[in-house]
Amino acid sequence: MKDQLHQLFEKNFGYTPQYEFFAPGRVNLIGEHIDYNGGLVMPCAITMGTWLCVGKTDENVIRFRSLNFEEQIEIPLQNSFSKTGSEWFNYPLGVINELQKAYDWQWGGLDLLYHGNIPIGSGLSSSASIEVVTAFALNQIYDLGIDRLSLVKHCKKVENEFIGVNSGIMDQFAVAFGEKDTAIVLNCDTLKHKLIACNLGDYSLAIINTNKHRTLADSKYNERVQECQKALQCLQQEININNLCELSAEKFALHQHLIEDEILLKRATHVIKENDRVISAAKLLSEGNLNSFGKLMYASHQSLKELYEVSGKELDTVVEFCNGYEHVIGARMTGAGFGGCAIALLKKGFEEDFAKHLSDYYVNKIGYYATIYVEQIGAGPTTLRTI
């Protein structure tokens, strides 16, 4: 990949890149739709990700190219930038705009070539991977002195304000702070986190892409954020809380009568019970109790299906198959839902059998194939080349 990427950079720009960087994608093991509700999540980085080759030039222009998209753009250097349509390059453009506003730095022209092997629109955080690799690269190239947490906050701001998706901080945090064979338990309110060794032992992490494309900005993601805010406002009539996840299930039971709207009640119930599941899951994973951890994964998916209503026929079909396949001990949708991916804890040695039987089951129910990957838990962003 490295040599091919360099050759394509030379083909596009006429010279050898001076820098090369990588940032991973992520999966969330459990704790879905919690990050914007101030609760606990348990993501990990994966070995899929985004490579970025960079060249500095004396020209007053930034050129964006990608091996994954035909769209390309050249933008003159200026004091600020605005989002242009919905093309991929808005993500790195937003990062450049954000860092330019936040830091006093002298810079010139840039040539940027991206390549990712994260399936686009799959819920594995291809956008956060692009954002983080861009911010990480600029921080290294221009010696901006941005610490890792500040980098994460800048990338989240890009997603929220420049792109227009009201997402929480989990994706960027997991991409930036990921460590090999390690899960992150992150408090999305305080940003305190701890690392838990994720020794899967006799099991592998299977990622099943439903191949139903979904785009957060065009989905009901923002609608779910608004519903949770409304549920919070109902509860704030009597109790002083800033986020839904400040409530335990017991305390919520005492005050849930304040939420008269059935839909809002379902959303809040999922959020609070899912937050409790993360607490239990962290303990089980640290103890190496994968079977009980897997049961929590199934419970999480059921809640996302019935209470939060962000699953769908494709994701449900995958989890339904996994639940009946003896060599899987846990499965759930991961990411925002509305399509995208599911994950499963799959007994090692049964990868081919699992892929064959799941493919047959899925195409019979859905009409097209899912794509199955067996992934490793990877590390955060890194510099691969610098001159």
- CA 334/CA 39 separation, integer angstroms: 16
Place of tokens 């705009």: 97
- CA 161/CA 36 separation, integer angstroms: 15
Amino acid (1-letter code) at residue 117: N
Which of 171, 189, 202, 360 is labelled catalytic?
171
Is residue 316 annotated as part of the catalytic site, yes or no?
A: no
| Distance, C-alpha 364 to centroid of its chain | 29
- CA 239/CA 258 separation, integer angstroms: 10
26 closest CA partner among 381, 387, 377:
377
- CA 360/CA 340 separation, integer angstroms: 19
Sign of the Cα pseudo-torsion (118, 122, 128, 131, in order): positive
301 closest CA partner among 329, 320, 324:
320
DSSP H or E stretch at residue 19: strand 19-30
- CA 272/CA 274 separation, integer angstroms: 5
Which DSSP category does 162 fall into? I
Determine phi and psi for 59, rounding to 5 degrees: -85, 155
Query: Residue 22 to residues 15, 19, 25, 117: CA-CA distances in angstroms?
Result: 20, 11, 10, 11
Total count of residues recorded for the chain: 387
Amino acid (1-letter code) at residue 272: I
385's tokens? 């080349």
- CA 22/CA 98 separation, integer angstroms: 20
Cβ atoms of 109 and 29 within 8 Å: the answer is: no
- CA 359/CA 364 separation, integer angstroms: 8
Beta-carbon contacts of 221 under 8 Å, excluding residues fewer than 6 positions away, are 165, 166, 167, 336, 338
Cβ atoms of 28 and 167 within 8 Å: the answer is: no
Q: Which residues are marked as active site?
A: 171
